C-alpha cells in the first residue's frame, strides 16, 4: 500500500460572515490511497463540498482555510503558491462537478475546452492535442468523437456532457479525481452508465477517486471506503461492507435506517428528530448529540475525537461500544 496519495489532517475551513463565523469544515481527517475510491457522504450543509474545494485551494472570500494540512504526494498543498496550485489543478488533481451544463462554457466547443486543459498541463503540438481529445472522448464512450468534439455543450445531453467533463478531468493524467455529486442530476439509467464508466476508467488510468455524494447506493457502486460527515466533521470512516453492516456511529446507523430500500421492507422509516445544526452556532460537545437517542452527559460537553475501533474503522463517538449492544436488541 505505501504512502497514502492524499492525507488530510485536521483541516479547518471557516467562512467569516457578518453574522458570525461558519465553521464549515472543523477538523477533518481523511486518507486516500493510490488507486482507491473513497466516498464522502453527508447531507447538504455538512461541509463535504467545502472539503473538495479546500483540497483544490479554491476557497474564496469570505472563506479561508484556517488550519490543518493537506498532504498530496508527500507535499503539503497548503504551503503551495497559487501558481503551483494552478499547475496541479486540472492536472494531477482534477474535479468533476454536479451540474455539467453549468461547468462548461456554452460559447466554446466541447473539444476546444478539453484541448485547453491539455494545453495548460502538457507540452504538445496542436495536432497531437487534437488526437488526444479524440482519444479521450472515445474512452469515455462518446460516439463519433471526431465529429462530436466540434459540437457545443448544448448539443450534448446531460449524460454525455458529464462524460465529457470526466474526459476533461482525466485528460492530463490525473492522479486524484474529485467527483462532487457527479450523478445527482442524472436519470437513473444514465447514472448507471456513468458509474460503469467510472469503474472502467479507474482501472485504466489507475486514478484515485474522491466521490462526494448523499446517495448511499451510488457510493456503494463505486467506493472501496466511505467517510461519513456531519456538521463539518468526519464522524465515521470505514470500508464499504463495514459501514453498511457494522456502522457504529448513531448518525450513520440512523441514516441507513431512514432511507427506503429495495431489498428491505419496512412500514415506517426511522426518523432522525430535529434538523441539521447551523454551523455558525454548532452545539457544544458532539455536534450530533441534540438529535441522538443515546446521548449521555459527556456528549454535550466534549467533542469526541475520531478513534480507531477496528481495522481501518474509526468512529467519533464516546458511546460506540455500548450502542452496539443496544442495537442488537433493536432488531
Partner 1 sequence: MSEKLLEVIDLRKYFPILGGVLLRQVAAIHAVDGVRFTVKLGETFGLVGESGCGKTTLARLILRLIEPTAGVVRYSGRDIFKLSEKEMQKLRLEMAMIFQNPYGALNPRMTIADSVGEPLDVHGLAKGAEKEMRIMELVEKVGLAPFHIYRYPHEFSGGEKQRIGIARALAGNPKLLVADEPVSSLDVSVRAQILNLLKRLQKEFGFTYLYISHDLSTVKHMCNRVAVMYLGKLVELGPVKDVYKSPLHPYTEALMSAIPIPGRRREKRIILKGTVPTPIDPPPGCRFNPRCQFSEPICAKDDPKFIEVKKGHFVACHLRK
Residues of this chain that bind partner 1 (CB under 8 A): 43-44, 157, 159-160, 187-193, 195-196, 214-221, 240-241, 243-245, 254-256, 258-263, 266-272, 275-276
Measured from the CB atom, is 79 or 267 closer to partner 1?
267
Nearer to partner 1, 11 or 201 (CB): 201
Nearer to partner 1, 118 or 231 (CB): 231
CA distances from 5 to 8, 72, 144, 210, 235 (A): 10, 6, 35, 11, 21
Nearest CB to partner 1, comparing residues 11 and 41: 41
Whose grid coordinates read 458529464?
A: 162
Nearest approach, Cβ of residue 260 and partner 1 (Å): 4
- Phi, psi for residue 211 in degrees, rounded to 5: -100, 115
Minimum Å gap between C-beta 149 and partner 1 is 18
Decide whether 17 or 259 has the Cβ nearer to partner 1: 259
Residue 105 CB, shortest distance to partner 1, in Å, is: 22
Give strand ranges (E) for the chain.
6-17, 20-32, 37-41, 63-72, 75-76, 93-96, 176-180, 208-213, 225-230, 233-239, 307-310, 313-315
Grid cell at residue 200: 472502467
Q: What are the angstrom distances between the C-alpha of 77 and each of 27, 28, 114, 222?
A: 16, 15, 25, 27
Tell me: cis bond preceding 29? Omega within 30 of 0 counts: no
Q: C-beta of 270: minimal distance to partner 1 in Å? A: 6
Q: Which is nearer to partner 1, 75 or 187 (CB)?
A: 187
Look at the chain and count its residues: 331
Under DSSP, the state recorded for 45 is: T
| Smallest separation (angstroms) from partner 1 to the CB of 271 | 5
Residue 245 CB, nearest approach to partner 1 (Å): 7
**Three-class SS state of 33:** coil
CB of 74 to partner 1, least distance (A): 32
Residue with smaller CB distance to partner 1, 85 or 192? 192
Query: What count of other Cβ atoms lies within 10 Å of the Cβ of residue 244?
Result: 15
Q: Phi and psi at residue 84, in whole multiples of 5°?
A: -65, -35
Amino acid at each position: 500500500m505505501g504512502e497514502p496519495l492524499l492525507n488530510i489532517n485536521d483541516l479547518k475551513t471557516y467562512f467569516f460572515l457578518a453574522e458570525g463565523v461558519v465553521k464549515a469544515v472543523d477538523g477533518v481527517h481523511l486518507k486516500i490511497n493510490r488507486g482507491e475510491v473513497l466516498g464522502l457522504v453527508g447531507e447538504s450543509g455538512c461541509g463535504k463540498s467545502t472539503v473538495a474545494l479546500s483540497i483544490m485551494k479554491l476557497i474564496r472570500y469570505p472563506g479561508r482555510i484556517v488550519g490543518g494540512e493537506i498532504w498530496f504526494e508527500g507535499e503539503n498543498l497548503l504551503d503551495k503558491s497559487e501558481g503551483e496550485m494552478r499547475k496541479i489543478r486540472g492536472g494531477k488533481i482534477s474535479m468533476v462537478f454536479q451540474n455539467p451544463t453549468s461547468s462548461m462554457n456554452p460559447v466554446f466547443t466541447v473539444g476546444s475546452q478539453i484541448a485547453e486543459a491539455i494545453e495548460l498541463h502538457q507540452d504538445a503540438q496542436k495536432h497531437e492535442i487534437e488526437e488526444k481529445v479524440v482519444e479521450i472522448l472515445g474512452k469515455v464512450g462518446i460516439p463519433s468523437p471526431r465529429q462530436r468534439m466540434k459540437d457545443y455543450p448544448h448539443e450534448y445531453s446531460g449524460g454525455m456532457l458529464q462524460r465529457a467533463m470526466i474526459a476533461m478531468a482525466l485528460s492530463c493524467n490525473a492522479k486524484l479525481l474529485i467527483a462532487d455529486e457527479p450523478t445527482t442530476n442524472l436519470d437513473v439509467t444514465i447514472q448507471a452508465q456513468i458509474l460503469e464508466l467510472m469503474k472502467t476508467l479507474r482501472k485504466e488510468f489507475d486514478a484515485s477517486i474522491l466521490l462526494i455524494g448523499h446517495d448511499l447506493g451510488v457510493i456503494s457502486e463505486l467506493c472501496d471506503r466511505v467517510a461519513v460527515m456531519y456538521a463539518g466533521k468526519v464522524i465515521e470512516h470505514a470500508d464499504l461492507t463495514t459501514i453498511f453492516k457494522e456502522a457504529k456511529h448513531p448518525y450513520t446507523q440512523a441514516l441507513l435506517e431512514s432511507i427506503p430500500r429495495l431489498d428491505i421492507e419496512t412500514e415506517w422509516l426511522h426518523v432522525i428528530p430535529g434538523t441539521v445544526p447551523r454551523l455558525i452556532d454548532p452545539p457544544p460537545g458532539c455536534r450530533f448529540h441534540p438529535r441522538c437517542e443515546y446521548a449521555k452527559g459527556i456528549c454535550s460537553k466534549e467533542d469526541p475525537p475520531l478513534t480507531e475501533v477496528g481495522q481501518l474503522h474509526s468512529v467519533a463517538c464516546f458511546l460506540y461500544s455500548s450502542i452496539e449492544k443496544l442495537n442488537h436488541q433493536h432488531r
